[in-house]
Structure 1
């Protein structure tokens, strides 16, 4: 229950903030959001004697806050006060780098300054964003070049020998880090760093020497993590949150039971979670590092007295290699993997249920992979223990530890793939998507991939039932006017205590905007005719004499380019096409043209439908070329669609249309960004008036004046 002290603290901080902002107009929706968060977080159940309480979602709230509500200020004040007074960490996550930077660089400093709420905060990043000084200094010592070119497990990830320019960059890293002119954060390096090169100087949790590392005191990752333990607010992205959940929670970020979560841009969470719980591995790369394992095991055996582990690892590696060789033979005759034009052939296994002749090889591979991981992880633990007892052998042990770390990571990946391949969901549960891709380039290879089609169960058990409290928010969370899709995809539907709130928009949509649905003849199902009709309509819709901005959104890059190429030359001079210029340059050109009294028309794809902020006359007309239906053409989407059909459902109505509703609302939302904005939305897709689902899509849009 919300205490009087908590109520007073939130009220006082909010009043202080509004008093410090001349001209601030209180927003009812923002105050409602403050109250919803505070009341929900107050229902957080405590951990008693180390036992998690039975949580049913009573401390979780889903809030759809339209643009202009001021969501971040609401959750930072309410969440900050509640977390501080209840001894919790406030963990704020977003889907995009832009919002993370906005939170750390603008919103949090603003709240602290204007409200007087004494919050400390830091940005959390994954280990892979940081330099490993131990590895870097090892590579750039006097023997650096020989070390780089020497055979070791990590070279399995390189497709070529390092060039002189790469060696020079490593030296620049070392000099800058040694001089403390660079903090080891990849994102703060002044130039773009190639992924393959960065892989050589970063580390993962398996290869890290941890407290035994001689460079532990200056390690950028550990210094950053130490800071996280001292601050009130941790800002991260969804991927880092989900990676932490996958590892059991509390490994990278604060433990779930010690955290109040504010998950912004929550409409991305479900799909990011599916990606997080997926796994894949290359057959050729696996064979490569498996061949190196016996030699590494012999080296480890000479350093630690664990013959049963080293022998077990070597035996398991041989069993894995033998079974993968069998798979190579089995797949050689698979018709679905015969070469095709236009790309690498992929075999999607129907319903995730393996053919009978593949079940035993799959079981053999899964057992061998688990045994391999267990023995290698045991070897790594033994080396770490020996590091403490045999300081004289430290250099050899450290080298073995980093080499083992690479192998442990690969074995973990191998195990994850074959655990998923072996698993078969029951008839009522969503299946595991399983597919094999034949890589035709080079010497040829096979890629084994598997993924759950839904992460709902993993989120329910790994996050929601463990979190002290959580807010999920975004400008667009409802689909076709309901929260059902979000609740289903995130697993919140199984928690009866979850509350959902849709806040009112502060904008006067009937007065600020218009919706126009031209009488088109061509359906998007006839792409050629539809493209020709768009070309005919655009010059009629855009006034080339008005110095205002227009945003035209396409669902297909092919159609966007065809329209851009076919338009009259006098119209083309006003065009700015996504992909032809970097986004920053495109926007600079757009504003410059407007400033010079010229019209400007931006052609964009899906990424411009969200997060693109063009207030005022920078965008007075949003034209949507086609309803944003994303038909399932990937293995995960196809497997889910087939499962829905076999249950008597309609994947188009149950998934495609609801997801299109969210995307359409986001696209339409590019028009009105402030209370002073105005303009028109035009939709060039006649299905919105001719199909039954079109009425539902229209009903979910803002109530613009229809013309």
Structure 2
């Protein structure tokens, strides 16, 4: 045990320490020092730690410095690609230079972030793509592929980030043929993972971490090493992400791809077995027909569909057809390695499809996601605490941090959701002077409206006054795409500032344009509520349409609510309210990002002041000066220059 670690870390953060000497304008923050000390002690003792660190604490350096000085192998997991890349390309290089050390560091993303050379070659050599725009994008990707070093799609700028061509050529577990691939040695995914296994600090994201852990639990190949320490930043996202990985999901596209693979093997290597070709074509047709029936309903909750007799007959007919297909394929095992691999995969996919259609677990939600041309089937458990416990090995130090974890100054909701029975906890408030720097306004005379159009008109009247006073420089955050679109139309012609609307371009493109313009108004939903850092007077006003309660029609929420009711508890107080408190805190966190920032938060939902549960929101928000007078908010905005 490195008993000097805490002393060394404290020296780095001291007024005359390494950070102060190397960073211009560095200010020694008590909260940052406290967090760094607690992380150091956790690493020394092998304990677990849960810490909420408010905006401005500097939590990234507070955990990276102890991690780097400990000499241990550390996995740092983030909830967003933005933070993942900031850590690897900005924060880690800066700290390594300041500390004068050179441990190996690696950035590892999930499969779908890397180009697959096998799929790229297959797309260009085949005749499957008839869309001219997609083919043009594929050619651009191929040109980039000849220049890229790591195959990271994040550095691909030649095509739009939502191009339908990208899913056709990124790596996937279903399409991977391993060592049988001609590109195995050059494989970007394999090389990234090999580099990670040899590193001291490995930066990943939560999705990859859980996918890797669950693979290990089932005995498959390890992707990440068994590190000494795991640090989760943006830890508030973990409970919902864990639900995804402890449940089951089936992409219909992966099943279609597998059928296409069998068809290709039949045409190129097994033409003497016409039964394979015939049954593959029949399964492919029936699968597309079944998927089409679901697209016609657009119903997300599978439980609402199981009473549809025609749909269920088609569902079980598909299972029967695929079962007969698998039985037929078993008769050809041993003739071809790629074929044998495909048979193993179709067995797993068929099992998932059957379990989904059966829909017989009352403790899970069964949902359908409608994507581009294909859908995804999901089974989500309503609780994951026990499953998480099985992953948190006692010989590893587990550290969880975020700016938003507590409800009413209590972290137990998070620790219980994650199954953390033994963990030290700490809440470190932001060092910012919120009462001086900010104003929180819930305007008076907001009508309680049931019509979205009337609510939108009311919101626009408030927004126009605030936007003009702020000279643009405003985020409007919405809880629904419908309200966003209504307000976007109504704002046209009402303000003289550039209007940027989510959907016009990718998130990063919109943010870049917002910063460049200097006086823009950005309208966004969930993607812009967190992980966005705009400092200074560029963002002077944040307007939120209403408290972000989850829709009562959300099928995972409904399944969880049923489970809570069976325990004799109130679903609203147990589930809906805590989730909304954390979500609101994330949105509010966009406003004040620096000790020199000033700004106004306007919430157009008077439930926060006239409903008893409103106090839970207020207690969890930063201590901003509060007002009901919109004119006071307008005046405050006019003083920001």
User: Deviation per CA, 1:519-560, whole angstroms, max 9, x where unpaired?
Assistant: 12412545344333323333444444x646232322223223
Question: 629, 641, 644: which is aligned to 2:549?
Answer: 629
CA distance in 2, matches of 1:108, 1:602: 31
CA distance in 2, matches of 1:559, 1:413: 38
Q: Which has the larger radius of gyration?
A: 1
User: Deviation per CA, 1:593-628, whole angstroms, max 9, x where unpaired?
Assistant: 54xxxx543333232221222222122222222111
1:104 offset after TM fit, Å? 1.0
Question: 470, 474, 479: which is aligned to 2:398?
Answer: 470
2:44 matched to which residue of 1? 42
Question: 55, 60, 67: which is aligned to 2:55?
Answer: 67
CA distance in 2, matches of 1:339, 1:214: 37
Question: 270, 289, 299: which is aligned to 2:259?
Answer: 289
1:402 matched to which residue of 2? 338
CA distance in 2, matches of 1:437, 1:548: 36
1:491 matched to which residue of 2? 419
1:126-525 alignment runs, 5 A limit: 126-133=110-117, 139=122, 145=125, 148-149=126-127, 161=129, 183-192=150-159, 194=163, 199=168, 202=171, 204=173, 207-210=176-179, 215-248=183-216, 251-256=221-226, 258-276=227-245, 277-280=247-250, 282=252, 289=259, 343-345=297-299, 348-349=302-303, 400-419=336-355, 431-434=363-366, 449-461=378-390, 463-465=391-393, 468-492=396-420, 495=421, 497-525=422-450
1:454 offset after TM fit, Å? 2.9
1:550 matched to which residue of 2? 474
2:483 matched to which residue of 1? 559
CA distance in 1, matches of 2:494, 2:345: 57
User: Deviation per CA, 1:151-203, whole angstroms, max 9, x where unpaired?
Assistant: xxxxxxxxx545677678767767776x6665444334442385567545745
CA distance in 1, matches of 2:509, 2:252: 38
1:386 matched to which residue of 2? none
User: Deviation per CA, 1:411-465, whole angstroms, max 9, x where unpaired?
Assistant: 323323445666865xxxx7022357999x99xx99754222233332221x213
1:700 offset after TM fit, Å? 1.5
Change (3 A) 1:377 1:641: farther
Tell me the TM-score normalised to structure 1 length.
0.73
SS across alignment from 2:103 = coil
CA distance in 1, matches of 2:132, 2:599: 55
1:29 offset after TM fit, Å? 0.9
CA distance in 1, matches of 2:45, 2:305: 41
Q: Is the 8 A contact 2:144 2:158 kept in 1?
A: no
| Corresponding position: 1:571 with 2:495 | yes
1:644-659 alignment runs, 5 A limit: 644-659=564-579
Q: Is the 8 A contact 1:279 1:413 kept in 2?
A: no
CA distance in 1, matches of 2:140, 2:377: 38
1:61 offset after TM fit, Å? 0.9
1:671 offset after TM fit, Å? 1.8
CA distance in 1, matches of 2:3, 2:612: 51
CA distance in 2, matches of 1:606, 1:197: 23
CA distance in 1, matches of 2:138, 2:521: 44
1:683 offset after TM fit, Å? 1.8
SS across alignment from 2:243 = helix
1:474 offset after TM fit, Å? 1.0
| Corresponding position: 1:119 with 2:103 | yes
Question: 578, 594, 619: which is aligned to 1:674?
Answer: 594
2:635 matched to which residue of 1? none
Q: Is the 8 A contact 2:116 2:169 kept in 1?
A: no
1:645 offset after TM fit, Å? 2.7
Q: Is the 8 A contact 1:548 1:600 kept in 2?
A: yes
1:404 offset after TM fit, Å? 4.2
Q: Is the 8 A contact 1:552 1:604 kept in 2?
A: yes
1:22 offset after TM fit, Å? 3.9
CA distance in 2, matches of 1:371, 1:415: 13
1:654 offset after TM fit, Å? 1.4
Change (3 A) 1:562 1:690: same
Q: Is the 8 A contact 1:176 1:182 kept in 2?
A: no
Change (3 A) 1:685 1:467: farther
CA distance in 1, matches of 2:207, 2:456: 37
RMSD value, Cα: 4.7
SS across alignment from 1:536 = helix
Q: Bigger shift: 192-201 or 218-227? A: 192-201
CA distance in 1, matches of 2:170, 2:607: 53
Q: Is the 8 A contact 2:141 2:159 kept in 1?
A: no
User: Deviation per CA, 1:266-291, whole angstroms, max 9, x where unpaired?
Assistant: 11112122223332354995799399
1:585-604 alignment runs, 5 A limit: 586-587=510-511, 590-591=514-515, 594=518, 600-604=520-524
Change (3 A) 1:647 1:201: closer
- Listed as ranges, the gaps of 5+ residues in structure 1 are 45-58, 150-159, 303-309, 384-399
2:30 matched to which residue of 1? 28
Change (3 A) 1:218 1:667: closer
Q: Is the 8 A contact 1:13 1:116 kept in 2?
A: no
- Listed as ranges, the gaps of 5+ residues in structure 2 are 628-641
Q: Is the 8 A contact 1:13 1:117 kept in 2?
A: no
1:114 offset after TM fit, Å? 1.1
CA distance in 2, matches of 1:693, 1:222: 50
CA distance in 2, matches of 1:543, 1:119: 51
1:94 offset after TM fit, Å? 1.0
1:499 offset after TM fit, Å? 1.6
Q: Is the 8 A contact 1:16 1:116 kept in 2?
A: no
SS across alignment from 1:481 = coil
2:636 matched to which residue of 1? none
SS across alignment from 1:42 = helix
1:106 offset after TM fit, Å? 0.3
SS across alignment from 2:523 = strand
CA distance in 1, matches of 2:194, 2:150: 15
| Corresponding position: 1:611 with 2:506 | no
CA distance in 1, matches of 2:441, 2:584: 15
Q: Is the 8 A contact 1:93 1:241 kept in 2?
A: yes
